[in-house]
Amino acid sequence: MNKLFLIGCLMGVSFVGRAQTGISDTTVIGEIMIAENRMQIPFSKRNRNIQIIGREEIAKMPVQSINEVLSYIPGVDVRQRGAFGAQADISIDGGSFEQALILINGVKVSDVQTAHHSMNIPVSLDAIERIEILKGPAARVYGINALTGAINIITQAKKGKDVSVRVQAGSSLQGKDAGDGSGVYGGGSIQAVANMGTERLQNLVAIGASKSNGQRYNSGTEDIKGFYQGKYTLNEENSIDLMGGYIHNAFGANGFYAAPGDKESHEVVQTGMLSLGMTSRLANRLILKPRLSYRHNEDDYRYFRHDLSKARSEHKTNVYAAELNGVLNTKLGDVGLGLESRYEEIKSTNLGNHDRYNHGMYAEFKTEALNRLLVNVGTYLNYNTQYGWQVFPGIDLGYELTEHVKASLSAGSSQRIPSYTDLYLQQAGNIGNPNLKSENAWQYEVGLRYEKKKVYVQGNVFYRNITDFVDWIRNDENEPYQPFNFGANKMLGAGIHLGQQFGMSDGSSFKYDVSYNYLKPKEMSYAEDISSKYIVESLKHQFLLKGIYQLKGFDFTAGGRWIKRELNDPYFVADVRVGYRVYGWDFYVEGTNLLNETYKEVAAVYLPKRWYMVGMRYQWGR
């Protein structure tokens, strides 16, 4: 009854008095250019399922990490193993966590050892300009491994000078587990972000650190991160972009991967990335964007944290990539072309030493020459030294039924190449399968959206068919899990997302978002004695709601997430944030899991019960 009461209150707030003037950044969001590596399409003219969340909204949400921001995005399933940005798996529209591609400013950062480390992101939350979520097959846009979609984290170096510093700390106010130290569960973080820019040179620098003692036995976390982005404008036609980042992340991994035997496990993950790119405009109609990038990851998994002489796995991966993207503007439309080449290697005490090359070629065509119809058609041709040649075509259509109503249709194919963990892992509770084939998918989606001033309603229905679907299964609880190509995974999904923004006569403003997503897997038949990791954690129902109220320097945000997985009990998590801004200072308090829900999102890891956070942020300049 308490849960129903809270849902009713949050829904009821959305119908408080009508607007006289709207106060929001909807218009700005609508004109944002979606940051694909070749084609540039305004968000207001999108013809596929793309969502954007900007920095202003992120700043007012009751969240402390990128993981928690994504948990409020419809269709995105975040399976965390702890608070304060602890290790998390991200999936989209009922896919597995290996099938969603993660990028920073268009640079791929998904981990080739295992997607468990793809969210080891070196970017502090305050440095993020926006996050773009492209749902559905994204091979035509970003290449392989974007089977169910892609998440692009965007930062932006700006002109002018400003510096911000944020400090926050929180606690459950409850005692820790026996044998895991004394005191109560708690933690804190600090981050600083600086923009220093002139007309020709812009620099963004961000550093951050967090630490917690863990919500359960052996689940403490600590991380240190740093990030830099720079842009140098040579002249009106040419500019150079530089980006680099590093994060050191250490955490107790009790129950993360091989429960109950891994109670004393510990993991240290270090990730570094670097990219150098250039944008050149030639003859007014041709834009070329060459880029080089590098990602290094070290993963030290200690099955027995107090005895490193046994069951310790050390992995080092390197990924080198070169890209050349271009756009040619013609009277009929825009032609996008791209080439990429990637070299991936791993040196591991557990997985062995392996490497592979991947080469791809893109071609796209976008036109608005037809009345009210936006067409984007293209293909991606790929060659991988382990899996050979494959081609991934796709098409997106958007039709303007009226000034405020738009329909969309998309169809496309995509692929996911097994990670090195899928292929070669040798662990007490999990073993790899070197005979795995790559996963291949076709997806079809139709959508309808209504947008007028401060109101929007969007609905989508999709059907996805993955052939050679990879699932980790076992016949007996005493046996290890092992991945197999389990035939077809057919998914039918539907979702609706609506919201409104308005201002009241007293100068206050209010915005609400409500969404529901339903997923129905088809023809996934397992024998009664088969245990499947995918089915246990597969999302079935997702209901999200969020309301933000602002009055002068005061803001109040309430959010809720009701989640039902295929074979687990449903849970509802309610969060609240209250903030006040005065003279450059932001003071806030947050409450997470206010209803004290007992729940887990992945594996055997129960997440924190009710806990509270207090924080402050100060900004100089701007």
pLDDT per residue as tens digits for the range 21-63: 333 344 456 667 777 777 777 777 778 888 999 999 999 999 9
Instruction: Check if the beta carbon of residue 187 is closer than 8 Å to that of residue 170.
Output: yes
For residue 598, report the phi and psi dihedrals to the nearest 5 degrees.
-95, 115
Taking every pair of Cα atoms in the chain, the longest distance, rounded to a whole number of angstroms, is 71
Task: State residue 82's pLDDT score.
Answer: 81
Task: State residue 30's pLDDT score.
Answer: 61
Q: Which two tokens stand for residue 303?
A: 């099955």
**Per-residue pLDDT tens over the stretch 162-178:** 999 999 999 988 888 77
Q: Which two tokens stand for residue 101?
A: 């591609």
* Average pLDDT value for residue range 109-133: 95
For residue 303, report the phi and psi dihedrals to the nearest 5 degrees.
-65, -35
Question: Is omega for the bond preceding 521 within 30 degrees of 0, making it cis?
Answer: no
- Which residues face 63 on adjacent strands? none
Which sign does the torsion angle of CA 391, 151, 496, 79 carry? positive
Q: Which two tokens stand for residue 168?
A: 């926050």
Q: For residue 139, what is the enclosing H or E element?
A: helix 139-142
Which sign does the torsion angle of CA 92, 97, 103, 104 carry? positive
pLDDT band at 150 (very low <50, low <70, confident <90, very high): very high
For residue 365, report the phi and psi dihedrals to the nearest 5 degrees.
-140, 130
Task: State residue 374's pLDDT score.
Answer: 93
Instruction: Check if the beta carbon of residue 141 is closer than 8 Å to that of residue 150.
Output: yes
Q: Which two tokens stand for residue 278?
A: 């250039």
Residue 420, classed as helix, strand or coil, is helix
Which one-letter amino acid corresponds to residue 347? K
Nearest CA-CA partner of 74 in 603, 436, 543: 543
Phi-psi region for residue 284, left (φ > 0), alpha (ψ -120 to 50) or beta?
left
Q: Which two tokens stand for residue 116?
A: 């468990």
Is it the case that residue 13 has pLDDT exceeding 60? no
* Average pLDDT value for residue range 509-538: 83
Is it the case that residue 211 has pLDDT exceeding 90? yes
Is it the case that residue 20 has pLDDT exceeding 70? no
Instruction: Check if the beta carbon of residue 459 is closer than 8 Å to that of residue 434.
Output: no
Cβ neighbours of 322 (radius 10 Å): 14
Of residues 47 and 156, which shows the higher confidence score?
A: 156
Q: Find the range with the poorest average confidence among 212-226, 263-277, 315-329, 520-534.
A: 520-534
What are the angstrom distances between the C-alpha of 249 and each of 84, 87, 267, 340, 447? 11, 9, 8, 30, 40
Instruction: Check if the beta carbon of residue 239 is closer than 8 Å to that of residue 232.
Output: yes
Does the domain made of 2-621 have the CATH classification 3.40.50.300? no
Task: State residue 445's pLDDT score.
Answer: 96
pLDDT band at 578 (very low <50, low <70, confident <90, very high): very high
Which one-letter amino acid corresponds to residue 301? Y
Give me the DSSP letters along 173-239: EEEPPTTS-SSEEEEEEEEEEEEEE-SSEEEEEEEEEEEE--SSTT--EEEEEEEEEEEEE-SSSEE
What are the angstrom distances between the C-alpha of 15 and each of 368, 411, 449, 467? 38, 37, 21, 46
* Average pLDDT value for residue range 304-328: 95
Q: Kindly tell me the burial class for residue 335, based on how many C-beta atoms sit within 10 Å of its own C-beta (0-12, 13-18, 19 or more).
A: buried
Task: State residue 141's pLDDT score.
Answer: 87
| CA 436/CA 326 separation, integer angstroms | 35
Q: For residue 571, what is the enclosing H or E element?
A: strand 571-582
Task: State residue 249's pLDDT score.
Answer: 96
Of residues 517 and 143, which shows the higher confidence score?
A: 517
For residue 187, report the phi and psi dihedrals to the nearest 5 degrees.
-175, 180
Q: Which two tokens stand for residue 158?
A: 């700006």
**Per-residue pLDDT tens over the stretch 607-617:** 889 999 999 99
Task: State residue 84's pLDDT score.
Answer: 79
Task: State residue 18's pLDDT score.
Answer: 33
Q: Which two tokens stand for residue 221?
A: 């976390």
Instruction: Check if the beta carbon of residue 106 is closer than 8 Å to that of residue 124.
Output: no
Is it the case that residue 14 has pLDDT exceeding 70? no
| CA 619/CA 164 separation, integer angstroms | 4
| CA 93/CA 460 separation, integer angstroms | 11
Residue that is written with structure tokens 């990219």 in the block: 275
Buried residues in 274-309 as b, exposed as e (16+ CB within 10 A)? bbebebeeeeeeebbbebebebebbbbbbbbbeeee
Q: For residue 275, what is the enclosing H or E element?
A: strand 266-282
Nearest CA-CA partner of 146 in 534, 443, 497: 443
- Mean per-residue pLDDT of the chain: 90
Task: State residue 551's pLDDT score.
Answer: 94
Is it the case that residue 143 has pLDDT exceeding 50? yes
Q: Where are the alpha helices (DSSP H) in 491-558?
A: 533-537
Q: Find the range with the poorest average confidence among 18-27, 70-79, 149-158, 277-286.
A: 18-27
**Per-residue pLDDT tens over the stretch 54-83:** 999 999 999 989 999 999 999 999 999 887
Cβ neighbours of 488 (radius 10 Å): 13
Is it the case that residue 294 has pLDDT exceeding 70? yes
Task: State residue 167's pLDDT score.
Answer: 97
- Which residues face 34 on adjacent strands? 41
Instruction: Check if the beta carbon of residue 57 is closer than 8 Å to that of residue 547.
Output: no
Instruction: Check if the beta carbon of residue 53 is closer than 8 Å to that of residue 114.
Output: no
Which one-letter amino acid corresponds to residue 345? E
Q: Which two tokens stand for residue 574?
A: 């309610």
* Average pLDDT value for residue range 373-382: 94
How many alpha carbons fall within 13 Å on the CB side of residue 332? 4
pLDDT band at 12 (very low <50, low <70, confident <90, very high): very low
Is it the case that residue 10 has pLDDT exceeding 90? no
**Per-residue pLDDT tens over the stretch 450-493:** 999 889 999 999 999 999 999 998 888 788 889 999 888 999 99
Task: State residue 31's pLDDT score.
Answer: 65
**pLDDT over 90 for what percent of the chain?**
73
